[in-house]
Structure 1
Amino acid sequence: MKKLLFSIYLSFFVFTGLSHAQTSLPQDVDFWSNYPDDVLAETLVSRMSDEELLAQILMFGWAGAEPSDLLNSWVIQRGLGSVKVFGWNTEDIRKVAKSVRILQTEAAGRRFKIPLFVATDQEGGWIRHVKGETSDTPGNMAIGASGYPIDAYYSGYYINKEIKALGINMNFAPTVDIYTDLGSTVIGPRSFGSDPVNVGILGEAFAAGSIAAGVIPTAKHFPGHGDTSQDSHGKLPQINIDEEVFESRELVPFKYLIRAGIPAIMSAHLSFPNIEPDGTPASLSKKMLTELLRNKLGYKGLIITDDMQMNGATLFAGSAHKAFTMAIEAGNDIIISSETATLGSQIWTKNLALMQSSTEFKNRVREAARHVILAKLKYFKSPDAAPLYPDEKTIYEYIPDKEGQKFFLEQACRSISVYRKGEFPYRDNGESILIAGPFNSLFDEGRKRYPSADTFHFSYSLKEDESNYSSWNADGLYYTARRYDTIIITVYDRHTANIAKRLRDMGKRVIILSIMSPVHVLEDFDWADTILCGYSYSNYSYAALFGALAGEFEPQGKIPLDGDF
């Protein structure tokens, strides 16, 4: 009884002491005032209006080369907490830096001067939302193929060092989904591989590199997107695994990252009906985010939704504003929309009205806002934070990173895996050679080793509904290839695999260069002379693939998927 009374007394003392500190702070206190982070965060939250609290937990993206007037209005009038840089507006990185500078200046003009989290998806490899001159890297599966945590660390370091120069302070990476469903076109080479422990170790190393570079890493997609071929952009995927598999496989990488102190985790629009019987997506589930992630796993950092414009969330909830409500109630701290909502949108008006009618909901918004502001205080007051006001005139001094360029080539070479070894290394002995693929950089690397080679170009963007175009490419390649002794062809999806299969039984030497996921060449290609796996369409991967093929180094990579590869 005495222990209980002491505990109650201590809690009261701490609470009232903190409250006293809040009320005793000057009225003009702002984000940059020199007080302890927890006291300052609680003070700011206690003085914020409902509108300011709700705006602080929202993150909006923008379309076009620069932010719209609408997004600027959200920052200036509402105090929007975060913005997202998406891949359709980033070819001119100088404009990205300028946009960040303007938005942060607008945020600094509000009464509490709270800076913005500026986020993007710069995973490396396939997913690279900030384009322009940033490094196009070998990607996660290449890291998994090399198997070295140091490769994951420096990938995270150099990728984030580049985007930090643009004023981007949060990266939605690493992806720690386990590549379980080999038919998935959603995760594929974004994954480090099929082994949960390896994925956890490499994800932890990538996150450490990101932190060393001065950018907040975000592990995704909790609790794991790897065992489904469905895309939550279009529908709500169901993953029908039991609790034992869920615990011993899906959660393993996140446990590694939580123990390492990962500062942010992204919740996914995924249904696990054997875990959450009513089918609620993890991103909207209090059981998944509060009971499991917070309470059971002991996670202390920010929880951030995946894009709420994805149908996996809105179709289940019935409307966008209801999905936002459910996401907040579930325990998310930042709610993302790839589209900037109108100022009168129901995701604003309905949730603001709910704050005013429900004390429980208002307290949850307040708690989320406090998490966000406390995370901002810890980050922006550290010496390694990204610049608030990047200078677009100096961007090319940092991007691409010169040391990073050297590293990514070396890392690509460490990743190259031999799946089928025929005449290897293959040297130009005066035979006629045809190189077939979708990129000029592929041809450039090929001609460095095989200068007399001819080329055959087909589109990278072959889609399932373009079967006639695929057939045209296959026919064109077949008739062209008859004139050559050796054909070196790139395979990266089911359609290009079908094109390559037209070369079977021609009596020609066929060399397959697999990029992206290697699953398309793991069967039905026993007739090919040589198969090398490179895991991305990065120029570094092309250079490594042709370097290995020509015998410049001996490839040591291992395909990081379950099976005897």
Structure 2
Amino acid sequence: MLKRRLLLAVLLAAAGCNFLWSQNERNSVNFWTQMPNDQLARQITDEMTDAELLSQTFMFGWAGAEPPELLYQWVERGLGSVKVFGWNTDDIYLVAKSVSSLQHEAAEGRFQIPLFVATDQEGGWIRHVKGDTSITPGNMAIGAGGYPVDSWKSAYYISREIKTLGINMNFAPTVDLFTDHDSSIIGTRSFGDDPDKTGILGAAFVSGSEAAGVLSTAKHFPGHGDTSLDSHGKLPVINIDFNTFKSRELTPYLYLIKEKVPAVMSGHLSFPLIETSGAPASLSHYFLTDLLRNQLGYEGLIITDDMMMVGATVYAGTMSNAFKMALEAGNDIILSSTTAKLNEALWYKNLELMTLDKNFRERVKDAACRVIKAKLDYFKSGNAAPLYPDPNTIDSHIPDREGEKFFLEQACRSVTVEKQGSLPLTADKAGRVLLMGSLTSFFKAGKQRWPDAGEFHYTYETGPNETQWVLDNLPSVAPGYDTVIISVSSENHVKIAEYFKGSGKKVVILCNMTPTLTEKLQWADSILLGYSWRCDYSLKAMLGAVNGEYVPTGTKPYN
């Protein structure tokens, strides 16, 4: 502890800063003082240094499996939050150990303020915490089933798993609408294209998360659905007028605000016909303060999407200016996927600005107060994630045993028949079956139903060279089969399936990713939609439907 403090002091001195609280400074309260939460949050922020206030508004991720020394130094400085990304999580036991260690460091701080520990565990395609956590059907499958209880339970079981690891905040639900079907970043992460239905399902997700004891975060405000661009690489520009925006993008948030969603993530998205400056919503005072706070009455936390994304920095010019603009716009937590160096400009320039600009300091103090009040409400609720998770308990909670049964049932409710054809194809009707796909679970479930089926394997993320290899080898494999069941999840899989066009065989397409992939496959005998990325539950559900074990009732959640 002393070594870190001395190093931190040296680095700050080198940067021309002298903002560390001294050992002689005394505070009259700490995070665990017994008094009303709003009063305690104000008392703590009144006693904080500028450095402590600014630090509470930052959320940093880190590269690698374990947090580096640099992140611990930030926590000692007073960092408010950390983010667990997908590159940290192959070993979930190490995740729990890292979270515990970081929380112990935070407990050594002057005010003993715990960390918000966040991740992206949306269900379906986006699953940052890996290991044995559940790969679930996801939002579009929930939308296809149409039951709010499925959204509630999905959130509940997902949250119970990550809570075991000490993760207390989830960047979900995604309530972006499936407006642009060419989107490479939203796709099946969306509940569908109906604003009201999305709002209802999103609100149910929030409620399920709360019941499990994890804070939810609706994203990406005000809406990422009407663009095919990914804001990681470019600032998307969405040219819609305010009337369209109000009746479409804003509608889900009206439901979520009524449900008191604890956090909203601001998106790096430009709506120039509404905010004429062209500023991304994440840096726009109009979108976050005038609209979200003042007009819509939202009272929870506002968190930026990753500030390392080009969609933010290209407009602001520099990272330090992007952080400044984000705070001024009304964000309370500024997220960076990488841990900044202690003396970077995004730190010392904004810290200096707090001494020069009274309004900026008050905005930072207001943001810090909101963060601390939210932490007090959460950590003193009696239903919070453990500050110091025990790795020895993980195996009894992950995967969630109750969740496993539910997710298969939910996948069955979501399966949609796009083209009935000859279904069902029981073993006596199918003839000789060839199974083509990627996942071991697909072949295992297929062989249970058609024991004599042949198998042709290719990787899930099939590249152009492998695609050509498959096409070159199919002529020596395909003859002699009457029915071909193909798992399709990408454009290259579509090319593989098209080999059988006009072959005279019964071709059954199981589309387990973006459902628009089937537009080129309408020649097939039968098409089922499962909407889910690498999801064993959805594949089993579709194969069960092909075999006539139940009648699928899912409907496309978009027009």
Whether TM-score is above 0.5 comes out as yes
Q: Which residue is equivalent to 1:532?
A: 528
Question: Which residue type is aligned with residue 29 of structure 2?
Answer: V
Q: Which residue is equivalent to 1:94?
A: 93
Question: Which residue type is aligned with residue 538 of structure 1?
Answer: C
Distance in 1 separating the partners of 2:468 and 2:292? 48
Distance in 2 separating the partners of 1:475 and 1:325? 56
Q: Which residue is equivalent to 2:487?
A: 490
Tell me the SS of whatever aligns to 2:248. Answer: helix
Tell me by how many angstroms 1:439 deviates.
Answer: 1.3
Question: Which residue type is aligned with residue 85 of structure 1?
Answer: V
Q: Which residue is equivalent to 1:83?
A: 82
Structure 2 counterparts to residues 161-176 of structure 1, below 5 A: 161-176=160-175
Contact 1:534/1:545 (8 A) holds in 2: yes
Confirm whether residue 57 of structure 1 aligns to residue 53 of structure 2: no
Q: Which residue is equivalent to 2:438?
A: 438
Tell me by how many angstroms 1:460 deviates.
Answer: 1.7
Contact 1:30/1:111 (8 A) holds in 2: yes
Q: Which residue is equivalent to 1:131?
A: 130
Q: Which residue is equivalent to 1:250?
A: 249
Question: Which residue type is aligned with residue 368 of structure 1?
Answer: A
Tell me the SS of whatever aligns to 1:183. Answer: coil
Structure 2 counterparts to residues 336-415 of structure 1, below 5 A: 336-415=335-414
Distance in 2 separating the partners of 1:491 and 1:377? 47
Contact 1:61/1:338 (8 A) holds in 2: yes
TM-score in terms of structure 2 length: 0.93
Distance in 1 separating the partners of 2:468 and 2:287? 46
Q: Which residue is equivalent to 1:281?
A: 280
Tell me the SS of whatever aligns to 1:356. Answer: helix
Question: Which residue type is aligned with residue 543 of structure 2?
Answer: F
Distance in 1 separating the partners of 2:401 and 2:348? 48
Confirm whether residue 42 of structure 1 aligns to residue 39 of structure 2: no
Distance in 2 separating the partners of 1:479 and 1:197? 51
TM-score in terms of structure 1 length: 0.92
Contact 2:511/2:528 (8 A) holds in 1: yes
Q: Which residue is equivalent to 2:497?
A: 500
Distance in 2 separating the partners of 1:473 and 1:72? 49
| Regions of 4+ moved over 6 Å | none
Distance in 2 separating the partners of 1:482 and 1:359? 77
Question: Which residue type is aligned with residue 493 of structure 1?
Answer: S
Q: Which residue is equivalent to 1:450?
A: 450
Tell me the alpha carbon deviations over residues 48-85 of structure 1, each in whole angstroms, 9 at most, x when there is no partner: 11110111000001121111111111112x11100000
Q: Which residue is equivalent to 1:239?
A: 238
Distance in 1 separating the partners of 2:460 and 2:233? 22
Tell me the alpha carbon deviations over residues 166-208 of structure 1, each in whole angstroms, 9 at most, x when there is no partner: 1110000000000000111210110001111100000000110
Tell me by how many angstroms 1:467 deviates.
Answer: 3.3
Tell me by how many angstroms 1:481 deviates.
Answer: 2.1
Confirm whether residue 296 of structure 1 aligns to residue 295 of structure 2: yes
Tell me by how many angstroms 1:458 deviates.
Answer: 1.7
Question: Which residue type is aligned with residue 192 of structure 1?
Answer: F
Tell me by how many angstroms 1:479 deviates.
Answer: 4.6
Tell me the SS of whatever aligns to 1:266. Answer: strand
Tell me the SS of whatever aligns to 2:528. Answer: strand
Question: Which residue type is aligned with residue 327 of structure 1?
Answer: A
- Choose from 503, 515, 519 the match for 1:518: 515
Identity %: 59
Contact 2:461/2:490 (8 A) holds in 1: no
Distance in 1 separating the partners of 2:113 and 2:301? 17
Which ranges in structure 1 are unaligned for 5 or more consecutive residues? 1-25
Question: Which residue type is aligned with residue 490 of structure 2?
Answer: D
Distance in 2 separating the partners of 1:130 and 1:524? 34
Distance in 1 separating the partners of 2:334 and 2:108? 23
Tell me the alpha carbon deviations over residues 9-59 of structure 1, each in whole angstroms, 9 at most, x when there is no partner: xxxxxxxxxxxxxxxxx9441000001111110110011111101110000
Tell me by how many angstroms 1:549 deviates.
Answer: 0.8
Tell me the alpha carbon deviations over residues 434-476 of structure 1, each in whole angstroms, 9 at most, x when there is no partner: 11112112111111111111211222223xxx43443333333
Of 293-302 and 354-363, more deviation after overlay is shown by: 354-363
Q: Which residue is equivalent to 2:12?
A: none
Which ranges in structure 2 are unaligned for 5 or more consecutive residues? 1-25
Contact 2:206/2:259 (8 A) holds in 1: no
Question: Which residue type is aligned with residue 318 of structure 1?
Answer: G
Tell me by how many angstroms 1:480 deviates.
Answer: 2.6
Tell me the SS of whatever aligns to 2:456. Answer: strand
Q: Which residue is equivalent to 1:552?
A: 549
Structure 2 counterparts to residues 91-130 of structure 1, below 5 A: 91-130=90-129
Q: Which residue is equivalent to 1:4?
A: none
Tell me by how many angstroms 1:478 deviates.
Answer: 5.0
Alpha-carbon RMSD across the aligned residues, in angstroms, is 1.2
Distance in 1 separating the partners of 2:187 and 2:51? 40
Question: Which residue type is aligned with residue 35 of structure 2?
Answer: Y
Tell me the alpha carbon deviations over residues 466-518 of structure 1, each in whole angstroms, 9 at most, x when there is no partner: 43443333333455323422111111122221221121011111100000121
Distance in 2 separating the partners of 1:166 and 1:187? 27
Question: Which residue type is aligned with residue 119 of structure 2?
Answer: T
Contact 2:283/2:325 (8 A) holds in 1: yes
Tell me the SS of whatever aligns to 2:299. Answer: coil
Contact 1:164/1:214 (8 A) holds in 2: yes
Contact 2:302/2:331 (8 A) holds in 1: yes
Of 41-50 and 354-363, more deviation after overlay is shown by: 354-363
Tell me the SS of whatever aligns to 1:41. Answer: helix
Question: Which residue type is aligned with residue 86 of structure 2?
Answer: G
Tell me by how many angstroms 1:252 deviates.
Answer: 0.5
Q: Which residue is equivalent to 1:9?
A: none
Question: Which residue type is aligned with residue 416 of structure 2?
Answer: S
Cα distance change on mapping 1:478 and 1:258 into 2, 3 Å: farther
Tell me the SS of whatever aligns to 1:156. Answer: helix
Q: Which residue is equivalent to 1:67?
A: 67
Tell me the alpha carbon deviations over residues 220-241 of structure 1, each in whole angstroms, 9 at most, x when there is no partner: 0000000111000000011111
Tell me the alpha carbon deviations over residues 235-259 of structure 1, each in whole angstroms, 9 at most, x when there is no partner: 0011111111100000000111011
Tell me the SS of whatever aligns to 1:218. Answer: strand
Distance in 1 separating the partners of 2:529 and 2:298? 37
Distance in 1 separating the partners of 2:236 and 2:543? 38
Distance in 2 separating the partners of 1:103 and 1:434? 51
Q: Which residue is equivalent to 2:334?
A: 335
Cα distance change on mapping 1:329 and 1:477 into 2, 3 Å: farther
Distance in 2 separating the partners of 1:482 and 1:347? 63
Tell me by how many angstroms 1:319 deviates.
Answer: 1.4
Question: Which residue type is aligned with residue 401 of structure 1?
Answer: D
Tell me the alpha carbon deviations over residues 81-100 of structure 1, each in whole angstroms, 9 at most, x when there is no partner: 00000011111111111111
Contact 1:478/1:502 (8 A) holds in 2: no
Tell me the alpha carbon deviations over residues 116-146 of structure 1, each in whole angstroms, 9 at most, x when there is no partner: 0000000001101101111110100110010
Distance in 2 separating the partners of 1:305 and 1:27? 31
Contact 2:447/2:453 (8 A) holds in 1: yes
Question: Which residue type is aligned with residue 257 of structure 1?
Answer: L
Contact 1:474/1:500 (8 A) holds in 2: no
Tell me the SS of whatever aligns to 2:484. Answer: strand
Contact 2:509/2:526 (8 A) holds in 1: yes
